[in-house]
Structure 1
């Protein structure tokens, strides 16, 4: 065989940069999309944000002509449209703090600009303003260690004890427990300090008096006991609660209430009140100090009911509106091939494609959200128990798109409904066959399980087999293992751990 040249014709699907941009925008969340739009506004001079007060009925005709013919007005023509007459101010009528005050040619010697004229700092509200809250506008998340170190700086102690306390605070985890033993803390200190184990334990007791209550404990029993010691002495059943967490915490964990009543010599009602006091404590005191800033969910779609009809609309406040800057677009000339004109033409094309991709994203999101609402009207009217089975393929067929597109649209997109804010993927669930030959959504089954557990007898909680029997009586055939899986996904403990007095 010898090499030869062969001419072949064929078709190949390639993704253009515009299509890649549209797909990327489609899978972005609202917060990521806002950041992407801001980056586009900063990098492309042809893009500008459309404000609510803009009047488009008086659009620049020169810009429209430039948009159609590719030729814009000269710089002198464009700048003449922006001329305005500055209003005159009477110096005698100026109020205190007005920015229109006259500026002399020179300032007095040894003076600063802030001494004579207003600055941005003067626009801050005064301390007498009740609406001004400095903390809420300037505070940030505080870690547990920094919170404890702040209290340590206020506590009087020697330099050696302060060093020991700092080491102990570093060994406290986010839940508020001391991870290292006192012996390990002693080994980590400098031997020249000549510190003994008793000194470390004394400093630990000082730290355990800090806020939040129960901090620095070495186990759960000590954590609960520290919190009980900070309660008022007249608290009902306080001594019995201390006895319970000190000696019988493992028996309480096994739900062996009869053994507890015998050992503590309490009646059932008395033991119930003691357990209620223990359950009011926080087993993870460190979780009260939140180090990270809260993350807020911005809904993409708003669903509301009007005249017995469910209406779907985009959240306009979360979707910035963009347009092409008419003035800059008017500078583009079709016949000019200079570097500046080529740059502006490319920027104009990118701006148009970016706006088109945003419109395509919003249109696709509206189509998918409308079909979801159409399928899940029962959920909107009656709740989780009326949720219908729904998969990506059903929506893809309804809107005429691929399942991968539906998956991108429903990821990190949220819908605001009268029942709360839900991610679009929440409305998709698998199905289970019923006795009548129909289908029941797994979300509806979880809601039924949650309802059955909430109404069960605390002394005799429902087992997984019993729940499966109750569902079968309703015509829903679910295996016991499936019930256990749904129960665990809901965070519901097994029947042996749900037993109450």
Structure 2
């Protein structure tokens, strides 16, 4: 008997390619978006940037748009956020800079001037810096080979944390060197710049730096003694025990400790070749009378459009070519609509954040209110996952600085008045209490919790300890100073 056929109906949610593209564009930063669009325009002849052609371009609806010389806000955004106060509108300031200087993609309007871009040399790292100094030293080929093996074994902080054994293993066996010879070369490297590089541990690093100071440096001998036998007590800032252990006056121990703290415990870190990354705000906030206004950055919406010339060729092309061009045009229009949707979403989320955190803009971090993704999602009528994508690597420029959207989101802690205070506000209060404390009698975590409780913030000691660690504030023992 043959099995019978069965018919089943089910519902399934599928993301269209257009929706997938919109979601992908939404989570990109400005720099990543610029790179993505450059790659897309290389494969789609109907798309082009407005700054690449003097000809009019077409938008997603097929309307002509003349390319402007300067960057400008989208029309609907600019009309809403016009103000007579030029200085209070940061987006206008950014626009004026963009018209006279470079843009995100590195192109600028130089007029008759030569468009020479500065060609910066590759940043010098720790290895290159040390090798350059080795060339100035009088080293034998054998010693130079050992020195290069040591340099290759350094970590980013300039330490040989794994000891001399890996260096010995990296050298050819025919050299016949031992660890004593390697250590002798290592000590010569410690005399190079930065001082203390090629050390085995923190104690070795600090001693190497102290030994390079002038012999008449005040409290130098006492500082060396602290590093040799009392580094653990120094980490706890236990000056009385240090004074007793070294049989010295506590005032002298305090001065010697200050000398040690002036040293660099990570000598190789300051030669990190990683370039500094700068962020470009996606939106700006400024005060307009008694209200806070929000506008998109001029660079947040790339000036991308349809190429009029190629669009006009569709009617004249053969059937096969016309089908190809119509397909590319449809893809281009989807992309332009996705970009407009991205800009609108960023603006809506920024406005929702500003409405909720206006007290932060007025009074600072201590006035930050609790905010979660769900609240913004309900305000703008979107899913929480969409809000999460928008708040990642998107930045808001405010009179108090430039912050990632995520900075304005934090959980709440209940207060005596029945309300709640954000974790960011509590951390700001905690920082202020520590800054104002008596350094000779610093506040413990329990005392800090009591101070916050007196201000109506119900927070436990362990919560204070967690926030203090997040702020990288040392414990009370480590913050103690002898006046």
TM-score above 0.5, yes or no: yes
> 2:179 aligned with 1:178, yes or no?
no
Decide whether aligned partners of structure 1 residues 296 and 23 sit closer, same or farther in structure 2, where only a CA change above 3 A counts: same
Aligned residues of 2:243 and 2:249 also touching (Cα < 8 A): yes
> 2:413 aligned with 1:413, yes or no?
no
d(CA) in 1 for partners of 2:329 and 2:202? 64
Corresponding residue of 1:215:
197
Deviation at 1:198, TM superposition (A): 3.9
d(CA) in 2 for partners of 1:337 and 1:153? 68
Corresponding residue of 2:481:
500
SS at match of 2:198: coil
Which of 415, 418, 440 does residue 434 from structure 1 map onto?
A: 415
> 2:467 aligned with 1:486, yes or no?
yes
For residues 452-493 of structure 1, the C-alpha deviation after alignment (integer angstroms, 9 at most, x for no partner) is 122222222222222221111111111222222212211122
> 2:397 aligned with 1:397, yes or no?
no
d(CA) in 1 for partners of 2:243 and 2:435? 26
d(CA) in 2 for partners of 1:186 and 1:24? 50
d(CA) in 2 for partners of 1:242 and 1:212? 19
Q: Which moved more, 1:44-53 or 1:462-471?
A: 44-53
d(CA) in 2 for partners of 1:357 and 1:202? 64
Deviation at 1:190, TM superposition (A): 4.0
SS at match of 1:397: helix
d(CA) in 2 for partners of 1:177 and 1:190? 22
Unpaired runs of 5+ in structure 1?
69-122, 126-131
d(CA) in 1 for partners of 2:306 and 2:431? 53
Aligned residues of 1:34 and 1:319 also touching (Cα < 8 A): no
Deviation at 1:306, TM superposition (A): 2.8
d(CA) in 2 for partners of 1:440 and 1:490? 17
> 2:370 aligned with 1:369, yes or no?
no
Deviation at 1:268, TM superposition (A): 3.7
Unpaired runs of 5+ in structure 2?
64-113
> 2:36 aligned with 1:36, yes or no?
yes
Corresponding residue of 2:103:
none
Aligned residues of 2:153 and 2:166 also touching (Cα < 8 A): no
d(CA) in 2 for partners of 1:398 and 1:67? 32
Corresponding residue of 2:107:
none
SS at match of 1:138: coil
Corresponding residue of 2:229:
247
Corresponding residue of 1:83:
none
For residues 107-146 of structure 1, the C-alpha deviation after alignment (integer angstroms, 9 at most, x for no partner) is xxxxxxxxxxxxxxxx798xxxxxx9x7xx3322333223
Corresponding residue of 1:380:
361
SS at match of 2:135: helix
d(CA) in 2 for partners of 1:262 and 1:415? 54
Which of 430, 440, 446 does residue 427 from structure 2 map onto?
A: 446
**TM-score where L is the length of structure 2:** 0.82
For residues 286-339 of structure 1, the C-alpha deviation after alignment (integer angstroms, 9 at most, x for no partner) is 1011122222222211112232321211111343211111111111129x7611
Deviation at 1:13, TM superposition (A): 3.7
> 2:450 aligned with 1:469, yes or no?
yes
Deviation at 1:174, TM superposition (A): 1.4
Which of 431, 437, 452 does residue 456 from structure 1 map onto?
A: 437
For residues 421-448 of structure 1, the C-alpha deviation after alignment (integer angstroms, 9 at most, x for no partner) is 1111111111111111111111111111
Deviation at 1:227, TM superposition (A): 1.4
Which of 269, 272, 293 does residue 290 from structure 1 map onto?
A: 272
| Number of corresponding residues | 430
d(CA) in 1 for partners of 2:24 and 2:173? 59
SS at match of 2:413: strand
SS at match of 1:346: helix
Corresponding residue of 1:350:
331
TM-align CA RMSD: 2.7
Max radius of gyration: which structure? 1
